[in-house]
Structure 1
Amino acid sequence: MNAIMRKISPRLRERLGRIGGAIALVLLGVLAGSAITARTDWSPFPGRENATRVPIYLATGTPVSGNISLLEGLAPIVRAAREWVVTIETKIPDRAGFDIFDDPFFRWFFGRPQVPRREQYRQGLGSGVIVSPDGYILTNHHVVENASELTVRLFDGRQFRGRVIGTDPKTDVAVVKIEATKLPAAVFGDSSRVQAGDFVIAIGSPFSAQLQHTVTFGIVSATGRGSLGIADYGDFIQTDAAINPGNSGGPLVNMRGELIGINTAIFTRGAPANAGVGFAIPINMAREVMDRILKYGRVVRGYLGVNIQTLDEAMAEVYGVKGRRGAIVLEVVPDSPADRAGLRRDDIIIEYNGQKVTGSEQLRNMVALTAPGTRATLKVLRDGREHTLTVEVGELKEERAGTRWGGESERGMTLGGLEVQELTPALQRRYDIPRQITGVLIVDVADGSPAAEAGLMPGDVIQEINRQPIRSVADFRRMVAEVGRRRAVLRVYSQRQGGSLLIVLEPRG
Structure 2
Amino acid sequence: MSLRKNFKILLTIALASGIIFSVTAGFTPNAYSETPKISKESVDVLTKTGQAMADVAAAVKPAVVNVSTSRTVKTPQSDFGPFFNDPFFRRFFGDEFSQRRMPREHKTESLGSGVIVSPDGYILTNNHVIKDADEIKVMLSDKREFNGTVKGVDPKTDIAVIKIDAVNLPTVPWGDSDRLRVGEIVLAVGSPYGLNQTITMGIVSAVGRANVGIADYEDFIQTDAAINPGNSGGAMVNAKGELIGINTAIFSTSGGYQGIGFAIPSNMAKTVMDSLIKKGKVIRGWLGVSIQPVTPELAKQFNLKEEYGALVSDIVEKSPAENAGIMRGDVIIEIEGKKVDEPDHLRNMVAGTPPGTEINLKVIREGKSKSFKITVGELPAEMQKTTGGEYDNVLKGVSVQDLTSEISKQLNIPSRIKGVVITDIAEGAPSEGTLRQDDVIVEINRKKITDIKSYENIVSKIKSKEDILLTVFRNGAAIYIPLSWK
Same fold by TM-score greater than 0.5: yes
| CA distance, structure 2, for counterparts of residue 401 and residue 22 of structure 1 | 75
2:225 corresponds, among 216, 223, 241, to 241
How far 1:302 moved relative to its partner? 0.8
The number of equivalent residue pairs is: 396
| CA distance, structure 1, for counterparts of residue 302 and residue 224 of structure 2 | 38
| CA distance, structure 1, for counterparts of residue 27 and residue 427 of structure 2 | 78
1:180 aligns with 2:160: no
| CA distance, structure 2, for counterparts of residue 416 and residue 179 of structure 1 | 22
Corresponding residue of 2:16: none
1:397–1:19 CA distance, 2 compared to 1 (3 A): closer
1:339 corresponds, among 306, 322, 329, to 322
What SS does the corresponding residue of 1:288 show, helix, strand or coil? helix
Corresponding residue of 2:27: 23
How far 1:22 moved relative to its partner? 4.8
1:446–1:483 CA distance, 2 compared to 1 (3 A): farther
What SS does the corresponding residue of 2:236 show, helix, strand or coil? strand
Question: 1:128·1:250 contact (CA, 8 Å) conserved in 2?
Answer: yes
Corresponding residue of 1:193: 179
| CA distance, structure 2, for counterparts of residue 448 and residue 284 of structure 1 | 35
1:230 aligns with 2:234: no
Question: 2:398·2:422 contact (CA, 8 Å) conserved in 1?
Answer: no
Question: 1:198·1:219 contact (CA, 8 Å) conserved in 2?
Answer: yes
1:52 corresponds, among 24, 28, 42, to 42
Q: Deviations over 1:57-80 (max 9, x none)?
A: xxxxxxxxxx8424x583222111
Corresponding residue of 1:480: 474
Corresponding residue of 2:399: 419
Corresponding residue of 2:277: 294
Q: Extract unaligned runs of 5+ from structure 2.
A: 1-21, 80-94, 403-420, 441-450, 452-470
| CA distance, structure 2, for counterparts of residue 51 and residue 416 of structure 1 | 61
Corresponding residue of 1:87: 66
Aligned residue identity for 2:424 = I
Q: Could you tell me the TM-score, scaled by structure 1's length?
A: 0.68
Aligned residue identity for 1:442 = D
1:158 aligns with 2:139: no
Q: Extract unaligned runs of 5+ from structure 1.
A: 1-17, 44-49, 57-66, 423-438, 466-472, 488-504
| CA distance, structure 2, for counterparts of residue 99 and residue 20 of structure 1 | 72
Map 1:93-242 to 2 at 5 A.
Answer: 93-96=72-75, 98=77, 120-208=106-194, 211-242=195-226
What SS does the corresponding residue of 2:476 show, helix, strand or coil? helix
Question: 2:285·2:353 contact (CA, 8 Å) conserved in 1?
Answer: yes
Q: Deviations over 1:80-137 (max 9, x none)?
A: 111110001112122336499xxx989x999x9xxxx996422121100011111111
Corresponding residue of 2:92: none
1:263 aligns with 2:247: yes
Corresponding residue of 1:315: 298
Output the aligned Cα RMSD: 4.0
Identity of aligned residues (%): 43
How far 1:272 moved relative to its partner? 2.7
Aligned residue identity for 1:343 = I
Question: 1:375·1:392 contact (CA, 8 Å) conserved in 2?
Answer: yes
Question: 1:313·1:322 contact (CA, 8 Å) conserved in 2?
Answer: no
How far 1:462 moved relative to its partner? 4.9
Corresponding residue of 1:388: 371
What SS does the corresponding residue of 1:23 show, helix, strand or coil? coil
1:30–1:73 CA distance, 2 compared to 1 (3 A): farther
| CA distance, structure 1, for counterparts of residue 246 and residue 364 of structure 2 | 36
Question: 1:485·1:507 contact (CA, 8 Å) conserved in 2?
Answer: no
| CA distance, structure 2, for counterparts of residue 448 and residue 365 of structure 1 | 34
1:440–1:118 CA distance, 2 compared to 1 (3 A): closer
| CA distance, structure 2, for counterparts of residue 440 and residue 386 of structure 1 | 44
| CA distance, structure 2, for counterparts of residue 368 and residue 218 of structure 1 | 30
| CA distance, structure 2, for counterparts of residue 19 and residue 153 of structure 1 | 58
How far 1:198 moved relative to its partner? 2.1
1:93–1:176 CA distance, 2 compared to 1 (3 A): same
1:179–1:462 CA distance, 2 compared to 1 (3 A): closer
Corresponding residue of 1:12: none
Q: Deviations over 1:339-363 (max 9, x none)?
A: 0110001111111122221110000
Aligned residue identity for 1:53 = V
How far 1:395 moved relative to its partner? 1.1
